[in-house]
């Protein structure tokens, strides 16, 4: 495993841990998953995806006080675009939708890289070298992930309650 890549991903995990209260093991995994697998799992019906974005867009308030992008890049550029900030800065929801759908359709998924990176990050957490998550949660979480062949997962309940995430994955800075 490439040490530079592992350190880069751990750096991103640390940033998210510091920036988002309630960040835990599931959120670290989701970040690594998104960087390795992209958003394809979220798109099965294009009309449903459009309606999902329309509903979410209407339900949020614009906020220029939040960061607009979070980098989750691993092997291809991927960013979480915060919809509240995008709305505040006048980025069109149709531009976001088009980039999100295009990324989902073209993203080169790397399940091999996901497994390798997650194993290394888990080792760092388990041995106490990385303190972004409770190591006691790791064994049970990894069992769930392995039994389900490294699935897409939602953010943790605490993360959702505290941060109210509202974003889509895109592969470029829009606007």
Q: List, for residues 118-167, the tens digit of each pLDDT value.
A: 999 888 887 777 666 766 678 889 999 999 999 999 999 999 999 999 99
- The pLDDT of residue 82: 98
Lowest mean pLDDT, pick from 3-12, 100-109, 161-170: 3-12
What tens digit of pLDDT does each residue of 15-31 get? 998 999 999 999 999 99
Residue 106: what pLDDT?
Answer: 95
CA dihedral 65, 68, 71, 73 (to 10 degrees): 170
> Which sequence spans correspond to the domains of the chain?
3-170
In Å, what is the CA distance from 156 to each residue of 27, 122, 129, 159?
6, 17, 23, 5
Distance CA 82, CA 53 (A): 12
Query: What is the tens place of the pLDDT at every residue in 43-59?
Result: 888 999 999 999 999 99
Do 107 and 98 touch, CB atoms closer than 8 A?
A: no
CA 169/CA 43 separation, integer angstroms: 12
Which residues have a Cβ under 8 Å from the Cβ of 114 and sit 6 or more positions away? 32, 33, 36, 37, 150
- Compute the radius of gyration of the chain from its Cα atoms: 16
Measured CA to CA, the distance from residue 71 to residue 78 in angstroms comes to 6
Lowest mean pLDDT among 1-10, 29-38, 147-156: 1-10
Predicted local distance difference test score (pLDDT) of residue 131? 66
CA distances from residue 125 to 22, 78, 88, 104 in whole angstroms, order as listed = 17, 24, 37, 30
| Residue 71 confidence (pLDDT) | 94
Rounded mean pLDDT of the chain?
A: 92
Q: Rounded to an integer, what distance in angstroms lies between the CA atom of residue 108 and that of residue 52?
A: 24
């Amino acid at each position: 495993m490439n040490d530079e890549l592992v350190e880069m991903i751990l750096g991103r995990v640390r940033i998210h841990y510091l920036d988002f209260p309630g960040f835990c093991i599931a959120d670290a995994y989701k970040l690594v998953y998104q960087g390795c697998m992209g958003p394809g799992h979220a798109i099965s019906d294009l009309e449903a995806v459009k309606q999902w974005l329309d509903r979410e867009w209407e339900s949020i308030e614009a906020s220029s006080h939040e960061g607009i992008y979070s980098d989750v890049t691993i092997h291809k550029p991927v960013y979480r675009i915060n919809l509240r900030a995008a709305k505040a800065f006048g980025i069109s929801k149709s531009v976001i939708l088009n980039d999100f759908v295009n990324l989902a359709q073209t993203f080169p998924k790397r399940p091999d890289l996901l497994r390798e990176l997650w194993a290394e990050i888990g080792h760092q957490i388990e041995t106490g070298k990385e303190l972004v998550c409770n190591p006691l949660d790791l064994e049970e979480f990894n069992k769930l992930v392995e039994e389900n062949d490294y699935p897409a997962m939602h953010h943790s309940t605490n993360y959702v309650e505290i941060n109210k995430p509202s974003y889509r994955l895109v592969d470029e800075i829009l606007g």
